[in-house]
Chains A and B, each alone.
Chain A
Amino acid sequence: MIRSLNDFSRIAREKGPKKLAVLAPEDEEFMRALKRSWQMGYVEPVLIGNAERMGQVADKVEFDISRFEKIIGEDRQAIADLGINLLFTGKLAIASKGQIPTSYIYRSIIREEGKARSGMTVSVISFWEIPGLDQLVAFTDTGVNISPDFKTKAEILKNAVFVYRLLGYPKPKIAILSGQREIGGTLISYRDYELLREAAASGEFGDCEILDATSFTEIFLGGRGRLTDHGSVHMERMPHILLFPCLDAGNIICKLDFFLDVTRCSLVATSRGPVCIPARSDFNDNIVQQLAMCVVVADRMKGEVK
């Protein structure tokens, strides 16, 4: 069972190196992360992008990239298409975003999923490691679906359940979140919660537990509880997966790691393997961690193609 980000690092050292398609590694912070990931034995990169720019940033971070396979390309969408195709055709185990707009990569993934007839909805899963908590918490969708309807949320949830099971949890606990309060009528997000509970009860998501709670207050304090002080918070009630009502909520809250004492690590779940999509503001420590996670997920996806 994977309980911490450190577990990913440890297992990535055992299971690596995995072949990694790197899409336009033309930024120092990213190249530094790539260098460290290679040194730690996580990945063997195939570099796709502008030769001169890749060479310049590699020189700046003193990383000899002459030993790696390179595919020269300029057009950003073509680079994304090529890298994702290498993943979907099984030639490489992982793909990672460098200096390419994330939307280009999502477009490439959607095309490949279409060709593969997987029926898979593209979504982003962000894990939080919270000090004192003996598990990782998966936030989803934090990157793709702007305002998902019930059906899309069901697909997003399936992706998260699939990935969380890869971590060794056969029956993950799930909270379907909503801003529902006693006032203001019934929110769409709450109706979706009710529908998703019904879908779960009919076995749509396999073995899992949907919590009877849609807010953090209900999760940590119980239905009618109130915060007397922070000692009254039951953090042990933390679910494994948090399904967010919309992209704004998921993205804003998952990136509170810039403020809170938590560590975030994200990936895109595709039917053929993980795609690493570091944010442009992520630092190299964080990117290395994300690559380690992708190595482990790729390893555990072998033979478990969705």
Chain B
Amino acid sequence: MLKSFREIAEAAKKVSAKKLVVSSVKKTDVELLSEAAGAGFIIPLMIGDGKGIESMIDGTPLAGLGHEIVDEKDSERALSKAMRFVREGRADILMQGAVTHQTFMDAVLDAKSGLRKGKVVSYNSVFQLMKQGKLILVTDTFINNNPTIAEKQLILENAFRLADILGIDVPKVAVLAAIEQINLHIPSTLDAAILSKMSERKQFGRVVVEGPLDIDCALSQVAAARKGLRSVVSGNVDIYLVPEIDTGHLLAESLVFFGRIETAGAVMGMANPVIVNLPFVSDASRVVEIALAVLLCGKGGNNG
């Protein structure tokens, strides 16, 4: 089981370098690619203004490492070309460059020309808990606004695939809600109860899904016991499933800014790994995102 970002990086080093394609490259991308290529994770394929990219690379470690440049000045065509390279197998991983989230996600999620594979594409924030010596996933923290119960099931299944890659044997899931009791007026508690029951009936395989759980019962066995709740999930959660995006996005940010916890993200449900550039992922953790994408390729290039 991988327990830290360092272990993710070490595991990625054992996998052969993958080709990562990025369009509309900016200076900070070059620095990131330089570090990731230097670690042996990737061979960058950069699409954009060829001369501009060359001048950005000049003098960086990337100049002396394997890389490819494709000249395409139009950003829209550059992104289309990047996705085509992935679809055709010329590249393994797609990374967001200097295009907006909306442009990038619209392109990768496009039914015809995009890269989606699963019915639901979801974003997993992986957090490194140093004191506990483990990694946890929080999902969905970026893509789905108000997932239905059917979509939540698929978001969970996406998370299980990522948990498998991280070596989490029997993932323990907290389906979060405001309270740990089922309240017919709080939809998140109903969804949580159904998912929990599905898990009890082994509909997800070797996992334990507990819900509804409020965050105190999820985080603390003692707190849960005081509320009369006993579960193997309490105090030992691997995956937190959030009710909707307001909660998910703000929770991920809270852990980063109030907890100063490093996070790296993984988009699941795609035919190939896709790396989104979120502002609350630190520079150091962006390299980990690339390492994680490499591991996702290592599983047969199918992370959906």
> Which residues of A are at the interface with B, using a C-beta cutoff of 8 A?
29, 130, 146, 177-179, 181-185, 187, 189, 215-217, 220-221, 225-230, 233, 235, 244-253, 255-256, 258-260, 262, 279-281
Contacts and interface: CB of A to CB of B under 8 A. Distances in A.
Contact of A233 (B101, B244, B246, B257): B257
Contacts of B105: 183
Contacts of A251: 178-179, 214-215
11 contacts: A182-B100, A184-B145, A185-B145, A217-B279, A228-B283, A248-B242, A248-B243, A251-B179, A252-B247, A256-B215, A258-B220
B258 A260 contact: yes
Contacts, number: 146
Contact of B102 (A183, A228, A233, A260): A183
B284 interface: yes
A178 B279 contact: no
Contact of A183 (B143, B219, B227, B284): B143
B101 A182 contact: yes
Interface in B218-254: 219-220, 222-224, 226-227, 242-251, 253-254
Given A182-B102, A225-B279, A281 B247 contact: no
- Interface size classification for chain B: 35 or more
Contacts of A187: 145, 245-246
A61 to B, nearest CB: 16
Nearest to B281: A227
A146 to B, nearest CB: 5
B249 A215 contact: yes
A215 B253 contact: yes
A217 B100 contact: no
A29 B226 CA distance: 10
B64 to A, nearest CB: 25
Contacts of B63: none
A215 B250 contact: yes
B176 interface: yes
Contact of B253 (A146, A182, A217, A262): A217
B178 A178 contact: no
Contact of A259 (B102, B245, B259, B282): B259
Contacts of A226: 279-280
A226 B26 CA distance: 14
A250 B250 CA distance: 9
Interface string B247-271: 1111101111111100000000000
Contacts of B177: 248, 252
B174 to A, nearest CB: 10
A255 B284 CA distance: 28
Contacts of B255: 256
Contacts of B222: 281
B246 A179 contact: yes
A227 B256 CA distance: 10
A84 to B, nearest CB: 21
Given A179-B246, A217-B253, A258 B219 contact: yes
